[in-house]
Amino acid sequence: MDDPFRHHPNLRDRIAPADASFFRDLDLAELDARLVAAGQPADWRTPDDIREAGRKAVIDDHRGGDLWVFAYGSLMWDPAMIFAEVRRAHTPDHARAFCMWDDGARGSPDQPGLMLGIDANGAGSGCHGLAFRIAQDRIEHETFVLFRREMIAEGYVPTWVEVSTDFGALTALTFVADHTKDNIVPDIPIEDQARMIAVAEGDLGSNFAYLDNLRAHLVELDVRDAYVEDLYARVVALRGNSG
């Protein structure tokens, strides 16, 4: 069997194995109970049958063979999927953006926070991340795990994007900000993003901790993102100035 890390052996100890991931065997009933007890509405997530129908439509659109997934956030260091290969990758048409309005997990109704997605990039520099190859005989279950995590609630649309790697161009599945959903708020000025993230806190902790964790993992994976660095510096300055 080929080594999944043969192109980038330095990533071996920086990406969690699937069986160590919280998301691998996620119990949605248990999660429902916990979040509802914390104040979330009972219908907080996408119904299972709708999520599965969306997944099957994406798989039906796949042209056969192995399937590539482009990761830009926590999927990079905690993919929860069994993969046959990982490559550093770049997509030119989308960029990271804190564009998902959050008034529960990392924010509150009084002080909403922002969560990460990727969005249409315009004339930007694109997005550096990782591409994971899922072997054909594992696609059914691994995409089930993937969609249960990424499409658990509204905000993303599964999208095929073109990515470049040092070993050739690929078409990969990723999850892009869905502008048809009310919780996607694009084009928030970065100074306003920083002000929100500096103070927001929700059921899963502070919005700053979420940003701090993202930045730390990007640094560890040697993935550069000037936008994340700029936003982080602004938030740190605001939190420092507020004492």
Q: Which domains does the chain have, with CATH numbers?
A: 9-241 (3.10.490.10)
Catalytic residues: 150
Q: pLDDT of 197-242, one tens digit each?
A: 999 999 889 999 999 999 999 999 999 999 999 999 999 999 997 6
- Name the residue among 74, 114, 96 with its Cα closest to residue 221: 74
Question: Could you read off the pLDDT of 142-200 as tens digits, one per residue?
Answer: 999 999 999 988 899 999 999 999 999 999 999 999 999 999 999 899 999 999 999 99
CB under 8 Å to 65, separation ≥6 — which residues? 136
Q: How many CB atoms lie within 10 A of CB 180?
A: 7
Instruction: State residue 30's pLDDT score.
Output: 80
The reported pLDDT for the residue numbered 149 is: 93
pLDDT band at 40 (very low <50, low <70, confident <90, very high): confident
Angle between helices 207-220 and 226-241 (to 10 degrees): 140
Alpha helices in 139-206 (DSSP H): 139-150, 190-199
Question: 71-120 pLDDT, tens per residue?
Answer: 999 999 999 999 999 999 999 999 999 999 998 889 999 999 999 999 99
Residue 184: DSSP 8-state: B
- 206 phi and psi angles, rounded to 5 deg: -80, 150
Which residue in 237, 233, 240, 209 sits closest to 105, CA to CA?
209
